[in-house]
Every structure is written in C-alpha cells, then in structure tokens.
Chain A
C-alpha cells in the first residue's frame, strides 16, 4: 500500500504548520521555486497526473492550455459535493497545508498571481483548518510576498461557498466566486484556461489534484508515473461507502486493482456478508455497475467502455436488500433539488423524473410510467444513454459519456441513476407497480428498513 496524498493521515498534527514542515512540508514548493515554471510544468506532465474532480483531464495538459494574459488565476475547487465523495474534505481538514502548497506550485507553474481556495459552505472544519493554515503560512512566509525568499509572490484568497452542488461545476464555481448566482457558463469557451475568473485565464483544479503536487515535485513526475497501471497512473483516493464493512477513504494504485479488490478486500466486504446487488463506481452521476463487473480494473479505459466512469472516485455499495427504485429515486431527488434552474430540461425534467419515481416507490406507479421515465430522460440526454452490459439479458454496454440538451452535466446526472436502475432492474420497477407497494417494504420517507 502506497501513501502519497494521504501520507500524513496518521500524523495527528499534520494540519499545523509545525507538523507539516516536520514531514517534508513546503519542501516541494521550495524545490519548485528553484526550478523554472516550464520545468515544473514538464515534471507534472511527466507524472501523467489526471484531474481528480471527476472529468479526469490531464493536469499538465490543462496547465499548458492557459492563455496569454495578465492577471492569471488559480482556483482550487474545494466544493466537494458529488454524492458519495468525501476525500477532499478529509484532505482539507487533515492536511490543509498540502492543499496550499499544491495550489502555490500550480500558480508558480502557470505564472498566476493569485490563488482562490473555494471551500464548500457546509464544511465548517475544513474552512477553519484551511483558514488557520493560511494564517500560519502567511506568517511563516510560505504565502504572500517573496515566498521563502524566492522573490516570487502569490496571494491565496479563501472563499466559502453557500451550499450548491452545481458549484462543483467549474464555471458555476467561477460565477459564484465572482459574487453571482452559480449558473454554469455556456461553452464555448470550453476551458477556464482561456476565459475563467473575471474572464481572465484561469486554472481550476481539484483539492486532491493539487494535494498530489508537492509529492510529485519532491519525487519527480516520472517516479509518480511508475505507480498505478494502464490509464490510471499514480495513486488516487477511492471513497467507499454504503453496505461495506469498512467504509472510508482509501488511497490506491487504481489501475492495479479491481472493484472486487476494493470492495471485498480493502473495504472488508459486504456488510453482514450479504450479496452485492449494484454499486456506483464513481460518484452519484456515474452509471451503475453490477456484480458481473467486479473484475473490472479501476482504470478509466475499461470502465468507460463499460458505460460509466470513475469520476470522483466514490464507490457506493448496495447489497441485496436495497430497493433499486428507492436508491435511484434518492439520487434523482438529489440532482433535481440541486439543479440550478437555468436549463429547462434539468429544472423541469429532473423534477418530473423525481416525481414519477416517488410515485412508483410509493405504490402509485402505472405501467406506462417506465417508458415515460426513459422518454423524459431522452429529452434531457438525447440518443443512446450509457449503461453497463448485462450478461443476463444480453444487453450491450453503451460507452460513456452521453449527449445532452443542457449547459452542464447536472441535468443528465439525474437521468443516470434512473436509467441504470431501470435498464437492469425493470422487473423490480414492474413489481412495485403490480403490487402497488414497495416489495422491500421501504416506504419513501420512513428512513429505515421495516
């Protein structure tokens, strides 16, 4: 087991400046400042580090896309809110200086003058820890003017969100940071690297991504790339939750292990030794996988071909007792609630999906509702919708991603759980309708199994 990003998780005082500097803290930044920005960029490219926010865009490539112009900004997306994901929170709470150091390395590499740390509104401890870390880092000369005597200066601005999932979408985050309502921006421009914060060239990176950078600079990108396998070099944190014995964050060499290793070995197997029914492989907006996909490696290549994504690295495990209608409804409700309200398909369509599924789960479904669900889904995401293969029914996988009629991915994300559950467990939906009740005797709102 390798610890790169999570190296200090066992260290009780890692969140203090003393504790951090004692364990090689800020030596990555010191080394970076002794290099040219181009050399730092090359090193990160060599590491093959990919963004950990969900899209998995190559970090070095993203940096090299930054447009000419002054000022340039770096924004660290700490608005972690993808259902099932809780890694960035732990990183900000337990190792806040690593986030700051990584964001400064980013700023140095892309010649930015200011870093904005955007922390989700609900994360009180993370806000406190990062805030204190910033105060200490400023006092210690690690942030601000003439950082560590290098002559290079960069400020870090801390910003707290107000609790909107959609801010995880980088352009919505930029709007929010500018003090506006968090409406995702229309693409093009596709990348904030061209026009970002205040329409200036901006690099937006995830907390885990920047947290990886100090290690990469200290140990070179080539070393980092020797970890992992396939299209998943290095390590990444998988957040395992749901019906497992040992839920939690695990740093793994993703390409080298399978979902079986993760769920049954690392996370201790299914709770009460029950059977696995389904699992979300990469956050709430990733199409579901099923027991027949347990031997897939945690590699974006094969996972994508199987109709889903590793996304933010959140694996939510559902055992045989889970009502698929309710589980899917719960996620659809989340995306419907979190729609920013901008695009018609997401605002109205997500809400409609939620209402239909609520009816089915509560025994008021109609046979025609199932095709209606799929049809409404198609208005939000036209064309074949990605889903995993199904050996039992002979259904072929439709590879990720989907097409969409919305500005951002929130709308289609509401379709994902409905579509995954319905294509695989249509019989369970039909049973709900036939019985006029949930066969799992899980009434929506009751909160517990009967």
Chain B
C-alpha cells in the first residue's frame, strides 16, 4: 500500500491516496463537492462542470473540475471562495434553464440530486425567460426503461454505464449543442440485462423504470437493506415499500460483491411478490380440486400423511425436495425436521440441475474477489451473463483491465467468450478434453493462482462431465480453487444447512457429523438418502409415500419432465410449501402458503459462501408463514418440538452447531461488518457495533468505495482475519469453543471414467442452459419481466440446418431417446456445428422433454414436419 499524502481543503489538512481524484479525497475528508457526472465506479469525464473548485497552482488559484484532478502532495484547494460559489451557482442555473421543473409529477422529486444540490449550492430563481427545450416525453429505450429527455442533464452516467460497465453500448449521445440527447440507435432498443442500473444512476428524473413509474413518492417510501436472492450472487439491495407493497429495489455498493450494480431480473422481480396469484390460504385436495382450508386442517392432513408413511413404510418413504428459495434459517429448520422428526435423509435442495453437494461444499473455495484477482480464471460453467449477471459485470471488468487471463471451456459461445484469452469449444460430455487442450494448457502452464468457476455448462450433460473436467484441471493446476457457478438463489445456503443427501448443517458429511450433531438433535438417519433424481425415480416407482415440495417445481425445473410427471403421480401424498400454485403444486394434496423474499427476515448465503442479512419489509399475504415456522408447526402436529423459536435464535443455533457457520451469529450479521456479509468458514465472533440500518429516507446512492485506488480488500470482515486462504476453515473454527467439531467436507474429484457415446451422423448433441428471463415462477409473475423471456427455439449452425434440409424459422420436430417436441428452428452462427441449443425452461415444450438425465449426453434429431 502506498503512503498517504496530504492536501489542504479549505484550510483543513486531510489525508489522501496518491492518484485518487480530488473530489473523492475531499469527500472522505468531510468536504462534499457537488457533482452530477462523477461516479466512483466509472471513469471520470468532467462534463457537468459542477465540481469546479479552485486549485492553487503556480499561476494562482484556478477553477478545475475536481473529478478530473488527481491529488498531489501539498495540493491546496478552495471549495468555498466566491469564485467557486459563482461557478456552482452558474452551473446550476444553466442546468436548470432547460429543465422542465416538473418536480411535483416527477418520480425523482424528493430524492433528486439536482433538487438537493440546487437547494444547497444553486441560485434561488432563474433569469431564463425563453421557451424551454421540448422533446417527446417519455420515450421507451427498452421495455423496462423510459427516458424523459427534457429532464436530462447530459451527465453521461447512463451512457457510460452501458458502454463501460455493462458492455452494452446501446445508448449514446445524439445531435449536439443544446439539442444533445441520449437515445438508442435506430431500431436497436436498449436491450441490456443491466438497464435498470441507469435508472438508479440518473441524477435527475430523466430515466425511470416501468415497474416504479408513478408508483410512489420517495417520502412515502420505507426501506430496509437486504440481499437479493434472484440468483446466487447475493447482491446487496435496499428494499423499498409503500402501503405494504414492494415498490423498488436499489443496488447497494458492497465492494466484495455487487459494487452497487444489479441485474434487471434482480431489480424488478419483486413484482412477483406483489402478485395477485400469491397463495395466502392453505389448501387441501378434495377429489380433483384443491379447496381452501384452515392451517390446522391442512397441517393435520400433512402430519397424518407423514406419520402414516413413516409408520407403514418407514422413514425412507418420505422425501423433501427443494429449498433453494429458503433463507438459511428456513433451510435449517426443514433440515432438522427431516432428519430428526421425519427421520429421512431423502432431502435435496437441487433439482438435478446443479452439482452433487459434496462437490459444491468440498472443493477448495474461492471468493468473487479471488476470481477477480486470479492469474487465470477458468470458466467451466454456463453463460454467466445469463445465470449470474452481476458476477459477469465483475469478471468482464477484470478481463478488460487485463487483471485476469480467462480460459473458457464451453460447448457454445458465451458473453465471456469475447473477453477470454482462450475459449475452447467442447462437445457436451467432453469438457475435460477442453481443459486438456493445448490452448488451455498454454495459459495454465505457469499460472500460480488459478480460480475456476464450476457450474453446469449444459443441463443436457451429466454432472459427471463437470467433475471429470475439475479433475483434469486439478491435474494441471493443483492449487486451483473453485467458485461455485450454481445459479439458484440460496442453493448454497440450503446445501450448507444440510438440505442434500448425506450432508449435515455446516458443510459436514452425515458420517462425520452424525455424532456431533446427534448430541443436540437426537437420533439421525444412518445411511445417506436419495438425491433429487433418486427421489423422483423412487416416487415414480411408488416407493415414496410422502413427498414434500419445498418451493420446488420439478415439472418445470427438473431436466426430465416425464420422470417428474410420473413421480408426482406415483408419490403417495404430495405436500407443497410454496408461494404460488405452480405446475407441480397443482398436483399436491396439501398446499401450505409460504412467505417470500421481502416478507421474512433471515440470512442467505451466496455462491462464495458469504452470509448476509435478509430483512422483512412487508407482511406476507393472507396467513402465509415463513418456511421455518411451517416446519416448527408441522413438527408440533407430529408431536415433536424442534426447539426453534425465532429467526435470531435459529441463526445463533446455526452458529453453534454448523461448523462452517461458527461465529456467524445474529449479532455479527447485524453489525457494521456484517453489512457486507460474513464469509462462512472464516468468520469469527465480532465485537458488536451499531447496526447500519438505513434511514427511512436515506438514499442508497452508491457510495465511494472505501478502498478506491488500491486492490479491493478480501472479505471486509475484520483486520485480524487472515487472507481468505482456502481450506483454512476448519482450523479457524477450532478456537470458537471447546466442543470437538467434525471436519468440514473435502472433495477430491476423480475422473468418473464414463464414456461419451459416439454421435451418429444424423444427430446433433443437445445443449441446454438457462436464459436470464425464463418461464420460472418469479419472472412469469413479474409483469414487466414476463414478456422478456425469448421463448423456445432450437438454435443450430446454418450449415447443419442446410444439411438437414431445414430453413430458418421452420417448425421442426426435435426427437431424443426420451421424447419429442415441436419448436421453431433458428440458424445461429454462434452455435458450433454438430450442436443443437434449446434454452432451458422457456415457455412451451422444451429441453426437459428431451433430456436423458441418466446418460452422459443427449443427442437429438431434427426433422421437418411436412
């Protein structure tokens, strides 16, 4: 770290970091210099001229834009002299001459930097008497973002964000002089997954988001900080509500995670929470239909079914599927219920779309920051822009800045391909060969620090292929650490809480932790249970008498729809705990309404194992409960007491009993350091500091990253925490207290030795991964997002299309060993020859009707309908 230097601002000496912009140094030193275009996460452009201050130079004090002037030792700066005041006054008067001043009907009114700074630094009234500039208002830049050009102050924030941060340079300045406007290029909408950030960045009311337009006034909003669980990145957010309805999510700047940004899905999917289709009353099946009933009656029926199954067929006839939507506390309660009261280990939070729990939990771990600081970053996962959008922003930036060299092995092009030094195309099933290719080897050869993002490049390929590739990578680079690429919201928390067969809370195996946990929990199952595929197969064969769907919709999410269908038909009693009556829940015998994100407090764990707080902002609809409460009540009906009384108590019980979560107490999570989240496996009990709750009207304006100008800090936990060295978790937890804790899971991947069947000349190998917008519950219940799902199509290389005698846009019949569907065919040059791409879980028939989960790969044939 470089030595700090000293500058004088208004006669006061402050410390500054060499090279940082004057505006940032002054702000940290307590002097706020007004600004519109400057943003700490973007390149300064010096356009608005609002931040002019006097810098004393050899020719006396000169007005300089403080966002463009790097600090120098001994620099003397005046921010309050008459000439500075004159300039600030003048700039604000000029910015306002063409501004419509329609604040009373503007969404930004009340939280508007232009308003605030005019009040603080500007003139009282305008001397402008001419007609103001007029534009059509508003125009929609994209289905989500509207632009009112009359309000725009041309600060270049949105356009810079789109080009520099999102990599979607789809909006730009047009025309010049007083007619300068922001707009899209003709016929090319601002179709960016990150467009919502421009709305948050806008210092005036020029950009508004469709879901929030005219919904609320800032002074009517109430807000809490929370964590987004749309995917597993775990972006920090401010959740805002008005009249007990969620109205807005804003990104909060956490350096180690999202750095202030959100994807549009995360930003706008709160609409689903407000949906009229939400379940608010329990339902039980009477004949062919579900009828609303009381909690008591519903729980009685569920308890009887579970009790009966256990008594008549044994605990192994009970299974609990799902849980990735849950908070850590919910997941812990259900894990405890399943293991202790129901007596089954047939639990799985994943739906065959992830990786085995021991792989996710047991590989040496890397953080997001580690991935951004690696020598070589290996991508063995699906397109992160589609699945983990904000992680994509971080990694894209590191690749562009040449901080990391990116090696990608993927069956198809991804958004990261353009930024990868090496991108190897591998056929499904042959990922390991890609890692062993000469191109990949050449980059990996001398790399000291290798981080791999390990996920599922395609669901039409066995997870074994991914494990084989991980083994191949470790053979070349034994020090490789791994960042999970699994996308499903709190899947990592659910796995950490033991919602997977053979795994207990805190990343320990059933075998290792049975004794330790049994001391508190009581008797635990002996044998590891079934995973999702196993559960569904057993159900289809009539061996599951009671199936609990914990926010799971296997009909939509399991890669083999036929198996899911037979499983739901074959399972004895199906108990769905869900917020919506989704496709699978419609087949249930008992439906218990659950509270959603924003309606319950707790904690969540992101893909790097960072545990952060969730807060409740609104009340759930009807009598919907948090999932942990449902578990407790169900246990009660089964005559057992889970001993769980409140979220804080569960959090603390987890900290006590789940070895990797030692130290992550409710108190630690609500402290200042807990604000950024605590890394599981590395946290220690922290001195309690005032919790950084957000004031009701405080703007979550992205704050200057505290460590600007130097390498980002690792974990933000505490200075005495050692560098997040991998695999150090178990050592560190030893001194938490005296109890002998079990070892954390360790997994060393070995080649499965499975052969990839040869492809015949008439077939194409299927690739299927998620798009950001899909037919999933949240997206489809969010009116703004639902239309953005691109729909089902099979994309193939034009050469293959021609070879098969098909034309672009034709409806084709796609057949695999498992089934056949009819969807349109699209020619796509980005798809390599020999491959057919069908996005997973799009509206209509899809890949789940084709994928053979038992096979290493799935081959399909395409035929014309005629």
Contact = CB atoms under 8 A, between A and B. Distances in A.
Interface of A: 164, 166, 181, 186, 336-345, 347-352, 355-356, 359, 372, 376, 378-379, 382, 403, 405-407
30 contacts: A181-B173, A186-B45, A336-B178, A337-B177, A338-B177, A339-B178, A341-B154, A341-B173, A341-B177, A341-B178, A341-B179, A342-B47, A344-B49, A344-B91, A345-B94, A347-B177, A347-B180, A348-B94, A351-B177, A351-B178, A352-B94, A352-B97, A356-B130, A376-B90, A378-B86, A379-B87, A382-B63, A382-B87, A405-B63, A407-B47
Nearest to B127: A372
Given A345-B49, A347-B177, A347-B178, 10 more contacts: A338-B177, A340-B180, A341-B173, A344-B154, A345-B94, A356-B130, A376-B94, A378-B90, A405-B87, A407-B47
B68 interface: yes
B479 to A, nearest CB: 36
A224 to B, nearest CB: 33
A382 B176 CA distance: 24
Contacts of B49: 343-345, 405-406
Contacts of A164: 176
A354 B94 CA distance: 13
Contacts of A343: 47-49
Interface string B720-756: 0000000000000000000000000000000000000
Contacts of A336: 177-178
B176 A345 contact: no
Interface residues of B, number: 34
B362 to A, nearest CB: 47
Given A181-B172, A378-B90, A382-B63, A341 B46 contact: no
Contacts of B86: 378-379, 382
B94 A341 contact: no
Most chain A CB within 10 A, of B83, B95, B128, B178, is at: B178
Contacts of B83: 382
A337 B140 CA distance: 27
A31 B607 CA distance: 69
Interface string B564-577: 00000000000000
Contacts of B77: none
Most chain A CB within 10 A, of B49, B62, B172, is at: B49
Most chain A CB within 10 A, of B63, B65, B94, B153, is at: B94
Contacts of A339: 176-178
B435 to A, nearest CB: 36
A266 B299 CA distance: 105
B113 to A, nearest CB: 14
A341 B91 contact: no
B50 interface: yes
B98 interface: yes
Nearest to A383: B83
A345 B90 contact: yes
A376 B175 CA distance: 23
A406 B94 CA distance: 13
B90 A186 contact: no
Nearest to A414: B177
Contacts of A351: 98, 177-178
Nearest to B92: A344
A193 B94 CA distance: 34
B123 to A, nearest CB: 11
Interface string B50-69: 10100000000011010010
Nearest to B68: A186
A177 B585 CA distance: 61
A235 B36 CA distance: 47
B531 interface: no
Contacts of B62: 403
Given A164-B176, A382-B87, A405-B63, A186 B94 contact: no
A403 B63 contact: yes
Contacts of B153: 344
Contacts, number: 96
B176 A341 contact: yes
A405 B50 CA distance: 10
Contact of A344 (B45, B48, B175): B48
Contacts of A378: 86, 90
Most chain B CB within 10 A, of A164, A339, A343, A344, is at: A344
B93 interface: yes
Interface in B163-181: 172-173, 175-180
A343 B68 CA distance: 13
A348 B86 CA distance: 16
Contact of A355 (B50, B65, B93, B130): B130
A344 B178 contact: no
Given A348-B98, A382-B86, A407 B46 contact: yes
A405 B49 CA distance: 7
Given A336-B178, A341-B176, A405-B49, A348 B87 contact: no
A349 B94 contact: yes
A143 B128 CA distance: 56
B63 A348 contact: no
Contacts of A379: 86-87, 90-91, 93-94
Contacts of A352: 94, 97, 128, 130
A338 B154 CA distance: 16
A355 B87 CA distance: 21
A349 B52 CA distance: 16
B177 A186 contact: no
A347 B154 contact: yes
Contacts of B65: 186
Nearest to A346: B177
Nearest to A359: B130
Contacts of B47: 342-344, 407
B400 to A, nearest CB: 15
B301 to A, nearest CB: 67
Interface string B103-135: 000000000000000000000000110100000
A351 B131 CA distance: 12
A341 B172 CA distance: 12
Interface in B673-721: none
Contacts of A359: 130
A433 B259 CA distance: 56
Most chain A CB within 10 A, of B45, B47, B65, is at: B47
Contact of A341 (B90, B95, B97, B180): B180
A345 B50 CA distance: 10
A229 to B, nearest CB: 30
A304 B606 CA distance: 66
Contacts of B127: 372
Most chain B CB within 10 A, of A337, A342, A345, is at: A342
Given A186-B45, A186-B68, A405-B87, A344 B94 contact: yes
Most chain A CB within 10 A, of B91, B154, B176, is at: B176
Q: Which 8 A-B residue pairs are closest in the complex by CB-CB distance?
A: A341-B180, A379-B90, A351-B178, A348-B94, A339-B177, A355-B130, A186-B46, A341-B176
A339 B95 CA distance: 15
Contacts of A337: 176-177
B29 to A, nearest CB: 23
A348 B130 contact: no
Contacts of B90: 345, 349, 376, 378-379, 405
Contacts of A338: 176-177
B451 to A, nearest CB: 31
Interface in B19-54: 45-50, 52
Contacts of B180: 340-341, 347
Given A372-B127, A405-B49, A344 B173 contact: no
Contacts of B97: 348, 352
Given A359-B130, A379-B93, A382-B86, A350 B177 contact: yes
Most chain A CB within 10 A, of B48, B90, B154, B180, is at: B90
B733 to A, nearest CB: 50
Interface string B67-99: 010000000000000010011001101110110
